[in-house]
């Protein structure tokens, strides 16, 4: 098996190392690993946007389809100044494994625009989004490729994408994108879905490992949509959230934070920093705090060969995609720290995206209770199946999850056959 070359220390290199570790363990037919190791389609776009001052700014964006084996491609759109094609490739590949692992009828995709969205006015953000949506509409459609929110994007941006696509087609097509506002075909429970899934994954891990749940201490890195919902839901379950951080810094209180009050503080000030009665701590240092659950919910590559030795968490529940590098994985495994991997732990988002898509296609909407119950069932089953495989083969949760997912995609590919 030849391994494609990738730049060291980037997410694509991480995704490749993870994939080849699994591919070597599975006896797949020759040629299949090479096929699955690379994206099926990649689109790079340079597109102009009229700025408020009348000038034209040219942006760079991407949409990558990693695999179309199990169904239409699914995956978010990221707006961040550090977006690269390699990052989008890795995120698209992880979406393939994430969807396959919990049996969603989707392949994996991801998109991104190189931009700091906080530096655009609302009008500029809308025009940029609409132009990007037009540019990717050669790939995007409700039966072929369905975007969703990711870092730097939100439900309003999804509404603009839905509207732009619908304007092209001449009729409202809500199923082209998920994570929309409920008012325009979004699903109840979608906003908190990733956080709810993470809470369930942590709770099931506690059960499996015999750790206490109520009163368990929690540290969350990243307080965006995923991190804040996770902190809130774990707090509601009686866990003790002792530290959280965001891009501006972190805060710590060993007696436990009042998470609803913290959310109000963030809504008013834009950051967790300065929340009364807490001690400041850096965004990096929160990772080293002793706790039951560490939830990295920011960006990739946070837990590395450099700092994995210092971590004092008992369980890591990955909210972000790719927060732990393969070097760190090896160290954590040797130290007996359990990692509930991204493709399992944060799959609640895409699971409820799937529910949203199904509701949109049927023009029939479910109650929030229904959605949360279905999400709960899929998450609990996912965690226990992965844990059983990990235990029976003596491997990590990450390896077990990837192995299940890759095997599923490879089997579907072999069953569909090679055309012509
Ligand atoms: N961006 C989210 C993820 O990484 C959600 C993707 C989706 O709902 O399609 O899983």
The predicted pLDDT at position 317 comes to: 99
Task: Check which CATH number belongs to the domain holding 67 and give it.
Answer: 3.40.50.10860
| pLDDT, tens digit (0-9, with 9 covering 90-100), for 274-305 | 999 999 999 889 999 999 999 999 999 999 99
- Per-residue confidence at 397, pLDDT binned at 50, 70, 90? very high
Question: What integer is the mean pLDDT of 33-44?
Answer: 97
Q: Considering the domain boundaries, does residue 402 fall inside one? A: no
Distance in Å, CA 147 to ligand 1 centroid: 8
End of a domain among 114, 145, 175?
Answer: 175
8 A C-beta contact, residue 360 and residue 337: no
* 167 and 49 in a common domain: yes
* 258 and 326 in a common domain: yes
Distance in Å, CA 197 to ligand 1 centroid: 12
Q: Considering the domain boundaries, does residue 410 fall inside one? A: no
User: What number of CA atoms fall less than 13 Å from residue 189's CA on the CB side?
Assistant: 24
* 155 and 60 in a common domain: yes
End of a domain among 324, 345, 366?
Answer: 345
Question: What integer is the mean pLDDT of 315-335?
Answer: 98
* 244 and 169 in a common domain: no
Distance in Å, CA 90 to ligand 1 centroid: 13
Upstream peptide bond of 420 is cis (omega within 30 degrees of 0): yes
* 227 and 276 in a common domain: yes
Task: Check which CATH number belongs to the domain holding 301 and give it.
Answer: 3.40.50.720
| pLDDT, tens digit (0-9, with 9 covering 90-100), for 253-277 | 999 999 999 999 999 999 999 999 9
For the Cβ of 321 lying below 6 angstroms from any atom of ligand 1, the answer is: yes
Range(s) of the domain holding residue 141:
39-175
DSSP state of 346: T
The predicted pLDDT at position 4 comes to: 44
Q: Considering the domain boundaries, does residue 417 fall inside one? A: no
- Per-residue confidence at 11, pLDDT binned at 50, 70, 90? very high
3-state secondary structure of 316: strand
Question: What integer is the mean pLDDT of 34-39?
Answer: 97
| CA distances from residue 47 to 88, 147, 168, 379 in whole angstroms, order as listed | 18, 19, 18, 39
d(CA 18, CA 16): 5
DSSP string for 250-295: EEE-TT---HHHHHHHHHHHSSSTT-TT-EEE-TTGGGGSEEEEEE
Look at residues 17, 18, 10, 15 and name the one whose alpha carbon lies nearest to residue 403.
18
* 168 and 203 in a common domain: no
Q: Considering the domain boundaries, does residue 26 fall inside one? A: no
* 209 and 341 in a common domain: yes
Q: Considering the domain boundaries, does residue 362 fall inside one? A: no
- Per-residue confidence at 2, pLDDT binned at 50, 70, 90? very low
Question: What integer is the mean pLDDT of 364-369?
Answer: 98
DSSP state of 182: G
Mutational pocket test of ligand 1: of 72, 149, 226, the residue with most ligand atoms within 8 Å of the beta carbon? 149
What mean pLDDT is reported for the chain?
97
Q: Considering the domain boundaries, does residue 365 fall inside one? A: no
End of a domain among 175, 201, 220?
Answer: 175
Mutational pocket test of ligand 1: of 194, 197, 351, the residue with most ligand atoms within 8 Å of the beta carbon? 194
8 A C-beta contact, residue 142 and residue 110: no
| pLDDT, tens digit (0-9, with 9 covering 90-100), for 133-192 | 999 999 999 999 999 999 999 999 999 999 999 999 999 999 999 999 999 999 999 999
Look at residues 298, 391, 289, 403 and name the one whose alpha carbon lies nearest to residue 338.
391
- pLDDT of 91 above 60: yes
* 330 and 213 in a common domain: yes
The pair of three-digit structure tokens given for residue 93, joined into one six-digit string? 């590949």
Establish whether 98 is a catalytic residue: no
What are φ and ψ of residue 29, in 5° steps? -60, 145
The predicted pLDDT at position 7 comes to: 46
| CA distances from residue 391 to 116, 266, 381 in whole angstroms, order as listed | 43, 41, 15
* 163 and 117 in a common domain: yes
- pLDDT of 344 above 90: yes
The predicted pLDDT at position 9 comes to: 63
* 233 and 164 in a common domain: no
* 80 and 157 in a common domain: yes
Q: Considering the domain boundaries, does residue 227 fall inside one? A: yes
Total count of domains within the chain: 2
Whose structure tokens read 């008013």? 268
Whose structure tokens read 């709960």? 376
The pair of three-digit structure tokens given for residue 283, joined into one six-digit string? 């965004």
* 340 and 197 in a common domain: yes
Q: Considering the domain boundaries, does residue 319 fall inside one? A: yes
- Per-residue confidence at 56, pLDDT binned at 50, 70, 90? very high
């Amino acid at each position: 098996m030849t391994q494609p070359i990738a730049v060291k220390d980037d997410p694509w290199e991480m995704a490749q190392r993870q994939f080849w570790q699994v591919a070597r363990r599975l006896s797949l037919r020759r040629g299949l690993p090479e096929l699955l190791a690379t994206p099926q389609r990649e689109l790079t776009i340079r597109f102009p946007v009229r700025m408020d001052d009348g000038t034209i700014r040219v942006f760079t964006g991407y949409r990558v389809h990693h695999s179309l084996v199990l169904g239409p491609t699914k995956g978010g759109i990221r707006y961040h100044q550090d977006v690269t094609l390699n990052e989008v490739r890795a995120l698209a590949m992880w979406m393939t494994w994430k969807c396959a692992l919990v049996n969603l009828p989707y392949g994996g995709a991801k998109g991104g625009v190189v931009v700091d969205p906080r530096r655009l006015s609302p009008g500029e953000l809308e025009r940029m989004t609409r132009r990007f949506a037009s540019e990717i509409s050669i790939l995007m459609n409700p039966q072929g490729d369905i975007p969703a929110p990711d870092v730097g994007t939100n439900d309003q941006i999804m509404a603009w994408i839905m509207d732009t696509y619908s304007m092209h087609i001449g009729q409202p097509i809500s199923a082209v994108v998920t994570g929309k506002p409920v008012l325009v075909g979004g699903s109840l429970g979608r906003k908190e879905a990733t956080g709810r899934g993470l809470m369930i994954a942590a709770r099931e891990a506690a059960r499996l490992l015999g750790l206490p749940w109520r009163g368990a201490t929690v540290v969350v890195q990243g307080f965006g949509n995923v991190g804040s919902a996770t902190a809130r839901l774990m707090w509601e379950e009686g866990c003790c959230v002792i530290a959280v951080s965001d891009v501006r810094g972190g805060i710590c209180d060993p007696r436990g934070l009042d998470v609803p009050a913290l959310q109000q503080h963030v809504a008013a000030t834009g950051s967790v920093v300065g929340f009364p009665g807490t001690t400041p701590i850096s965004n990096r240092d929160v990772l080293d705090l002793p706790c039951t659950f560490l939830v990295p919910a920011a960006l990739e590559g946070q837990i590395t060969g450099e700092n994995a030795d210092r971590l004092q968490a008992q369980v890591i529940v990955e909210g972000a995609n790719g927060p732990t590098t393969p070097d760190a994985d090896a160290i954590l495994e040797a130290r007996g720290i359990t990692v509930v991997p991204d493709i399992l732990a944060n799959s609640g988002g895409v699971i409820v995206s799937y529910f949203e898509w199904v509701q949109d296609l049927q023009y029939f909407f479910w109650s929030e209770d229904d959605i949360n119950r279905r999400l709960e069932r899929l998450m609990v089953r996912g965690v226990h199946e992965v844990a059983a495989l990990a235990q029976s083969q003596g491997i990590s949760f990450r390896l077990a999850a990837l192995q299940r997912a890759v095997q599923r995609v490879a089997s579907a590919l072999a069953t569909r056959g090679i055309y012509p």
